[in-house]
Amino acid sequence: MYNFGRLISSFAFSMTFIIFFFCLLFPVHGRWHNHAKKHKQHSHHHDHFTISQPPSPSPSSEPAGSPPEDNGGPSSSSINSTSIFDVRHFGAIGDGTADDTAAFKMAWDTACQRNDDDNNDDYGVILVPYGFSFMIQSTIFTGPCKNGVVFQVDGTLMAPDGPDAWPKGYSAHQWLVFYRVYNMSLQGNGLIDGRGQKWWDLPCKPHKGKTMTGPCDSPIAIRFFMSSELRVEGVRIKDSPQFHFRFDNCKDVYIDSLHITSPALSPNTDGIHIENTNGVQIFNSIVANGDDCVSIGSGSFNVEIRNITCGPGHGISIGSLGNHNSRACVSNITVRDSIIKVSDNGVRIKTWQGGFGTVRGVSFNNINMDNVRNPIIIDQFYCLNKGCLNQTSAVVVSDISYIDIKGTYDIRSPPMHFGCSDSMPCMNLTLANIELFPSRGDILLDPFCWNAYGNLQTLTIPPISCLLETSSRSFLESEKDYC
CA distances from 328 to 250, 351, 353, 364 (A): 17, 9, 12, 20
In DSSP terms, 152 is beta-bridged to 127, 187
Is residue 442 part of the annotated active site? The answer reads: no
Q: DSSP secondary structure string, 260-310?
A: EE--TT-TT--SEEEES-EEEEEEEEEEE-SS-SEEE-TTEEEEEEEEEEE
| Other CB atoms within 10 A of residue 380 CB | 30
473: helix, coil or strand? coil
Q: Which of 46, 48, 314, 417 is catalytic?
A: 314
Is residue 60 within 8 A of residue 94, CB to CB? The reply is no
What's the rounded Cα separation, in Å, for the pair 308 and 293?
9
Letter for the amino acid at 233?
A: E
Residues 6+ apart with CB under 8 A from 131: 53, 54, 58, 59, 63, 64, 65, 155
Is residue 244 part of the annotated active site? The answer reads: no
Q: DSSP secondary structure string, 311-349?
A: -SBS-EEEEEE-GGG-EEEEEEEEEEEEEEESBS-SEEE
Letter for the amino acid at 362?
A: V
What's the rounded Cα separation, in Å, for the pair 429 and 262?
34
117: helix, coil or strand? coil
What's the rounded Cα separation, in Å, for the pair 376 and 398?
15
222: helix, coil or strand? strand
Q: Alpha helix (H) ranges present in 98-182?
A: 101-113
DSSP letter at 461 equals B
CA distances from 97 to 100, 198, 353 (A): 9, 17, 47
Q: Which of 86, 122, 270, 291 is catalytic?
A: 291
Burial class (CB in 10 A: 0-12, 13-18, 19+), 131: buried
Q: Are strands 251-256 and 272-275 parallel, antiparallel or unpaired?
A: unpaired
State the distance between the two ends of the chain, measured CA to CA, in whole angstroms: 100
What's the rounded Cα separation, in Å, for the pair 148 and 132?
25
What's the rounded Cα separation, in Å, for the pair 93 and 337?
43
List the catalytic residues.
Answer: 291, 314
